[in-house]
Amino acid sequence: NPSITTLKILIIGESGVGKSSLMLRFVDDSFDPEQPATIGVDFRVTSMVVDGNRVKLAIWDTAGQERFRTLTPSYYRGGQGVICVYDVTNRSTFEHLDHWMTEVDTYSTKDDAVKMIVGNKIDLPNRVVSREEGMKFAKRHRALFIEASAKTKEGVQCAFEELIQKIIQT
């Protein structure tokens, strides 16, 4: 769709799963092992080339901690892509994905918003959520799926590329 100017991408999920880390790895190619918890909303603008077209992205990164969250409906408004992150070493963050998918369905103003599930922190040795479980969940919610590590970069570029490609095709 050549009329697209800027795509709005949201990142959601429990506190500590690595939402900000994934965004900062993608936008700045940086990683902070002591990344502070997000308060309210963080916001970055970047661009990438997909299928030979330059696409501008506005990436919104919200606080996972309920007490730091504000403005939920306006956060979701107009979002064309939603990245829902869990931590493969923390089962409760995976179990809370249902809650986050419900929130997307409640507040998203685009019925055709493209969803992607990202299992993060695959660099760590103490994984407790298998790749198959993640894939199954994503399939059930008609979402794309990828495993990643904001620390080692694995899967990060690929996650954004697949999401943007799907949005452009939709």
Compute the least distance from the CB of residue 130 to ligand GTP, in Å: 17
Selected binder of ligand GTP within 59, 150, 163, 167 (CB under 6 A): 150
Q: Which helix (H) or strand (E) holds 28?
A: helix 19-28
Q: Does 12 bind ligand GTP (CB under 6 A)?
A: no
Q: Does 62 bind Mg ion (CB under 5 A)?
A: no
Q: Which helix (H) or strand (E) holds 76?
A: helix 72-76
Q: Does 81 bind ligand GTP (CB under 6 A)?
A: no
Cα–Cα distance measured from residue 99 to residue 43, given in angstroms and rounded to the nearest whole number? 23
Q: Does 17 bind ligand GTP (CB under 6 A)?
A: yes
Selected binder of ligand GTP within 16, 46, 48, 127 (CB under 6 A): 16
Cα–Cα distance measured from residue 101 to residue 13, given in angstroms and rounded to the nearest whole number? 9
Cα–Cα distance measured from residue 170 to residue 161, given in angstroms and rounded to the nearest whole number? 14
Inter-residue contact 114 to 170 (CB < 8 Å):
yes
**Residue 158 touches which of Mg ion, ligand GTP, none (Cβ within 5-8 Å per kind):** none
Residues 94-123 that bind ligand GTP (CB under 6 A): 120-121, 123
Q: Does 80 bind ligand GTP (CB under 6 A)?
A: no
